[in-house]
Amino acid sequence: MLIDVGDLRRPGARDGGRGNERKFTGRDSRLEIELQGDLFVFTEVRVEGQATNVGGKIYVKGGIEATAGMTCSCCLALFTIPVTTCFEETYYDSDGVDQGDPDDAGRIYSGEKIDLRDVIIESLVLVMPMKPVCRQGCQGLCPSCGANLNTDPCNCSPRAPDPRLAGLGEYLKNMQD
């Protein structure tokens, strides 16, 4: 998503446009993000916010709403969840940035447009659950036959407990008594 900041940089007063603000909104019907071999698909992505000239820099603050397509980590079912997050970033004009100056820590833009794609992607990835689950209490898959225990009956015989965990079983039994 690109936002036009050319009007923010134009001098409205004698200070080079400092304090100029501009609201922005944007929509994307589908955004795909590949991260470490996993593909995250976001639909109905809506971004809105405000860009402000803060004296040689553009401060951008906004919010993101989307629907995320996920795979349950227990039963492998596909499901969607609503995602809401926010972002803040300072952008520096590439013409006025000293690359070695630690005070200029931020993102660089050139021309009259700022591309928010990287900030949007980072914000969405940061709010994704580490272990997505389709619903609370998901029973997962049968370890023997692979049946989805939420929807399919499983006729597998119960597996004998691992003898290496017998001590833990006794401990838990004593804790309940």
Ranges 5-19, 62-76, 122-136: which has the least confidence? 5-19
Range 15-27 average pLDDT: 78
Separation CA 149–CA 143 (nearest Å)? 10
3-state secondary structure 18-53: CCCEEEEEEEEEEEEEEECCEEEEEEEEEEEEEEEE
The answer, yes or no, to whether residue 13 has pLDDT greater than 60, is: no
Structural domain boundaries of the chain? 2-126, 141-177
Separation CA 51–CA 114 (nearest Å)? 10
Range 35-46 average pLDDT: 87
- pLDDT at position 93 is 82
Q: Are 55 and 70 in contact (CB under 8 A)?
A: no
SS3 for 80? strand
Q: What is the mean pLDDT of the chain?
A: 85
In the chain, the percentage of residues whose pLDDT exceeds 70 is 88
pLDDT class for 23, splitting at 50, 70, 90?
Answer: very high
SS3 for 126? helix
The answer, yes or no, to whether residue 96 has pLDDT greater than 50, is: yes
